[in-house]
Structure 1
Amino acid sequence: MKNSRLVGFTALTASFLLAAGLTACAPPEKESEGNQTESGVNYSEATSAEDFGGMEGLVEAAKKEGELNVIALPPDWANYGAIIKAFSDKYGIKVNSAQPDAASQDEINAANQQKGKSTAPDVFDLGQSVALANTDMFAPYKVATFDDIPAAYKDPDGTWVNDYGGYMSIGYDSAKVPEVTDVNDLLKPEFSGKVALNGDPTQAGAAFSGVLMVALSQGGSVDDIAPGVEFFRKLKAAGNFLPVDPTPATIESGQTPVVIDWNYLNSAETAKLPSWKVFVPPNAVVAGYYYQAINKDAPHPAAARLWEEFLYSDEGQNLYAAGGVRPVRADQMIQAGTIDKDAVAKIPVVDGPVTVPTPEQTEKATKYLAENWAKAVG
């Protein structure tokens, strides 16, 4: 699982929403340096398809490059396996998918370490904290559907745009543990050595949001994550905390029978493991969006821009929905009648308060975790 990415988004309504370094041996310099669009703009500086003379020009330029480098996109995360295949099949562009289980920070590290090389990432899919700390590495670009995306979910210049979101949840194998109806159930003896958190919350988006979810269930708040850390201290002391990063393989083998993770990842397991259930604590609903951006030093800048166009097209957004996540254009597509209704119908809707940390709250909570997490579970 893509387990090391801090995540959040600036606004969300309750009715809505649902390593380091790439391996290469003396890679060549990127080939697209200096290529210009029809309007005379370098590919790497194009801010819309219009700079290429329209979509046909962008497609032609991207096909000329012939490749796209993505990083930290597991095939079972948000339906990225199907998304990558659909993009490659549609445009005949080879997609090089590196380090599927890498962290958001690993994406940034790879871009810095491989800068100027043909192996550098062309695009990023990042959690909030890492994304907002590295906006100087992103190339502003507005996709054709940019105006459909609510202002809360994008930078006004297109430096970054939210792409998909979900809820934090508890997934569990009902054949191995009792029903989970409350976060406090995880402290019971029946859960000894069985509760896994998806990553380290000082680095991982899912884990960060998991601790926040637990904090809310314990009387904490988005401004006070300490009760969440204290809960995990108790979980560790009780022998229930399992320090294993869960993956589909660990879930299906029974190694991690309880997993705190995004609802769309936990829900994906129900098709493979019929006894797997997903619980979103109604008194502690935490939601989050990921951030999409183009590497300003992308070795394939035209392909990077075409990738963004694909992700935010009706086709790309519906592929996200098929992966159990809420695509950012969902409301607009519902109104337009272009949404995949069957896919969206399977995405949970929460009636009630939804907690979404602001960048400032995320920063404060991250600082607290950096100072206290290891002491609690180490």
Structure 2
Amino acid sequence: MIKTRINTRFAKVSALGAAALVTVGLAACAPPQKEGAGAKTDTGVKVSEATSAADFGGMDKLVEAAKAEGELNVIALPPDWANYGEIIKAFSDKYGITVNSAQPDASSQEEINAANQQKGKSTAPDVFDLGQSVALANTSMFAPYRVAVFDDIDPKFKDADGTWVNDYGGFMSIGFDSTKVPPITAIDDLLKPEYHGKVALNGDPTQAGAAFAGVVMAAVSQGGSADDIAPGVEFFAKLNEAGNFLPLDPTPATIESGQTPVVIDWNYLNGTESQKVPGWQVMVPHEALVAGYYHQAISKDAPHPAAARLWQEFLFSDEGQNLYAKGGVRPVRADKMLLAGTADRATFGQLPIIDGPVTVPTQEQTDTAKEYLSDNWAKAIG
């Protein structure tokens, strides 16, 4: 899965998130990183090579080291995406660490580009939140780290060494303004004349996670699968030929203004618009259930390596996972937390109830699909 925002990801700015963030630019004149990356833990391990809190001498020592660094650089985390505004504020308030948020509108690939461009600078990203394809193509840039609750996470949602770990996920959906278009009950409805010039896909599927999953969803609905996404590309070609495909990346502004009355996106992103647009509805197509998880990783060149590791501990803790659920996404530890009684049941109760087989593309399937998209997507919608 590949992540996307404005231009390539659906970014939303909230007062809570804006107050909690300090924006970091990507200027070429950024200062060099300080000694944090070269420091050692109490156990003699380089902070940048620590693979667990034990390497610091325990969680308290990790917290101490992170507080000493005092800052954390995150990138591509819109405040209203997966509740990151509240998550960042909670982390900052809990540990007294300033969170610098760069390019909240960036795509997953732009996160990687920024890390390469800013390597050795104090403004370089400490951590990544990436869609599957981009994450798996760049694992050499990540530092292995196993959080305290690592064993709670199903093996299929993590690298065995903690090089990457899925943190949250959702289901592909179709959001629509019922005051402007007829109700949508199936994916094939989008081909009808009533949706001429009205159907927007959140980003470019060769780069953007929501868009990538949207093509997979279309493929499954047309008899394809994660192993064969050609029917999905063909579906969008038909949508484009009919004049229904709108080559405009959706944002809260385009939805609220009526420019993009139909949006193919993750359920938790489409869901936020129901509070702002009268008549906005979200349909998760049961004939083509597609889910995906994002990949959390630490940059091996993180200028604040201790803070980066503490951030991971926070995100995967009960507190962090409950905050994700509050944002409408499914935390990766959801099942374990429900069994242990540590999940906020009221919050978890608001998540979609899904019945039926669910498609979650594997690494191999994603690699194959990415190659196919690279060769065929532009031709399909050109």
TM-score (ref. length: structure 1): 0.93
Matched-pair contact (CA < 8 Å) for 2:250–2:260: yes
1:171 aligns to what SS in structure 2?
strand
Pairing 1:223–2:214 present: no
**2: CA distance between counterparts of 1:248 and 1:221?**
31
| Paired letter, 1:23 | L
Q: Deviations over 1:29-63 (max 9, x none)?
A: 21113211111111111111122221211111111
Q: Once the 2 structures are TM-superposed, how far is the Cα of residue 148 of structure 1 from its aligned partner?
A: 1.1
Range 265-274 or range 24-33, more displaced: 24-33
Q: Once the 2 structures are TM-superposed, how far is the Cα of residue 285 of structure 1 from its aligned partner?
A: 0.6
**2: CA distance between counterparts of 1:307 and 1:329?**
16
Q: Deviations over 1:330-356 (max 9, x none)?
A: 111101111011111111121111111
Decide which of 129, 149, 163 is 1:145's aligned counterpart.
149
Decide which of 199, 209, 212 is 1:208's aligned counterpart.
212
Decide which of 18, 21, 32 is 1:29's aligned counterpart.
32
2:37 aligns to what SS in structure 1?
coil
**2: CA distance between counterparts of 1:230 and 1:33?**
48
Q: Once the 2 structures are TM-superposed, how far is the Cα of residue 25 of structure 1 from its aligned partner?
A: 4.3
| Paired letter, 1:375 | K
**2: CA distance between counterparts of 1:103 and 1:111?**
13
Decide which of 238, 244, 249 is 2:242's aligned counterpart.
238
Aligned residue in 2 for 1:111? 115
Q: Once the 2 structures are TM-superposed, how far is the Cα of residue 2 of structure 1 from its aligned partner?
A: 2.4
Range 169-178 or range 211-220, more displaced: 211-220
**1: CA distance between counterparts of 2:37 and 2:227?**
45
**1: CA distance between counterparts of 2:153 and 2:223?**
34
**1: CA distance between counterparts of 2:226 and 2:146?**
32
TM-score (ref. length: structure 2): 0.92
Aligned residue in 1 for 2:60? 56
Q: Deviations over 1:239-267 (max 9, x none)?
A: 11111111122111211110000011111
- Long gaps (5+) in structure 1: 6-20
Aligned residue in 2 for 1:178? 182
**1: CA distance between counterparts of 2:25 and 2:231?**
38
Pairing 1:129–2:133 present: yes
**2: CA distance between counterparts of 1:84 and 1:259?**
27
How many aligned positions are there?
363
1:58 aligns to what SS in structure 2?
helix
Aligned residue in 2 for 1:247? 251
What is the aligned-residue RMSD (CA, Å)?
A: 1.4
Pairing 1:96–2:92 present: no
Q: Deviations over 1:291-342 (max 9, x none)?
A: 0000011000010011001001111000000000000111111011110111
Aligned residue in 1 for 2:381? 377
**1: CA distance between counterparts of 2:279 and 2:381?**
29
Q: Once the 2 structures are TM-superposed, how far is the Cα of residue 193 of structure 1 from its aligned partner?
A: 0.9
Matched-pair contact (CA < 8 Å) for 1:67–1:303: yes
**2: CA distance between counterparts of 1:357 and 1:33?**
35
Pairing 1:44–2:52 present: no
| Paired letter, 2:63 | V
Residues 300-311 of structure 1 mapped to structure 2, 5 A cutoff: 300-311=304-315
Decide which of 288, 313, 317 is 2:321's aligned counterpart.
317
Matched-pair contact (CA < 8 Å) for 2:130–2:294: yes
Aligned residue in 1 for 2:294? 290
Matched-pair contact (CA < 8 Å) for 1:137–1:296: yes
Aligned residue in 2 for 1:345? 349
- Long gaps (5+) in structure 2: 10-23
